[in-house]
Amino acid sequence: MNETDFNTLLELYLEGKCTPEQKEWMEQWFDRLSEEGSGEELPANKELVMQRLKNRIDGQIKRQNFFNLPVLLRVAASVIVILSLGTWAYLRYQSTATVALQYVTRSAARGQQLKVTLPDGSMVTLNAGSGIRYPENFKENRTVTLLEGEACFDVTTDQAHPFTVTSNGIQTAVLGTVFNVQAYKALDEITVTVIRGKVAVETSSQQKPLLVLPDEQAVIRAATGSQQKRKVNAAAVTGWVTGKLAFRNETLQHVAVLLENIYDVKIVFKDEATKGIRFTANFSSTDSLEKILFAIAKANKLNWSIRNKVVQF
């Protein structure tokens, strides 16, 4: 049956003027359509057929309750609803898929650093064992997620599109600046240190954003979201970028996390209290792990051992 014949038969059927044989054929066709939920077998333009059915049903609904309609019209109405919802969902999916952002993930292996140039020209230096994720297209969305570890950002200025770094619910918004974010999962603090420019640090709590200027550091407690600001030597904090290791009154737990990533080892403490001991010293990334461990042990009267890349204090 060609399209013209089918449309003619459809009109006769809807008007109740077709023969018994034609009526039986149409009802079988409607049954098949309702069961399969597809209009692929229509011998005519699907949109035209559905529109004609809808117009017919709309007229019937105005005159009587839906559940009193003939079985055929209720089936046809259900088919139209199914097809309409299916078409809407498909178009919605296609639209979403078209605009979905593609992301890039970059990671620095333990024992190594990695320099990354972002699509807008901004530079990121990843410390050992650190990773970031960012949109492939930076034109509208300059947002970088620090997945783990520590990164130093040198951001290209773009007044129309602020640059944002997110990590563990913390957002750092900038226009053009150099700053460092440290967010190791093993530590209970997230720090944002500004070398040049200024940043606004905001937590998921209701606190006001914290404005951080050069040689200042925002400290956010990961568990509570509480925040504070303190003066620091930003050059010392970011010394790792140029191969310097500066510990300023850091706990041994904090020092251990950094050394684990830099030297690709595991550091354990037999006594939990040892983790809280504070340590201050300067080293170079070219110094051997053994030299640093010896200095830590001597300064705090501790014993240490290393075996199969596991250090024990």
Report pLDDT digits (tens) over 221-274. Answer: 877 778 889 999 999 999 999 989 889 889 999 999 999 999 999 999 999 999
Average pLDDT over residues 67-83: 51
Q: What pLDDT, on a 0 to 100 scale, did the predictor assign at position 20? A: 78
Q: Is it the case that residue 64 has pLDDT exceeding 90?
A: no
Whole-angstrom distance, CA of residue 237 vs CA of residue 63: 79
pLDDT beyond 80 at 48? no
Query: Percentage of the chain with pLDDT > 70?
Result: 73
pLDDT at 178 over 50: yes
* The pLDDT of residue 40 is above 50: no
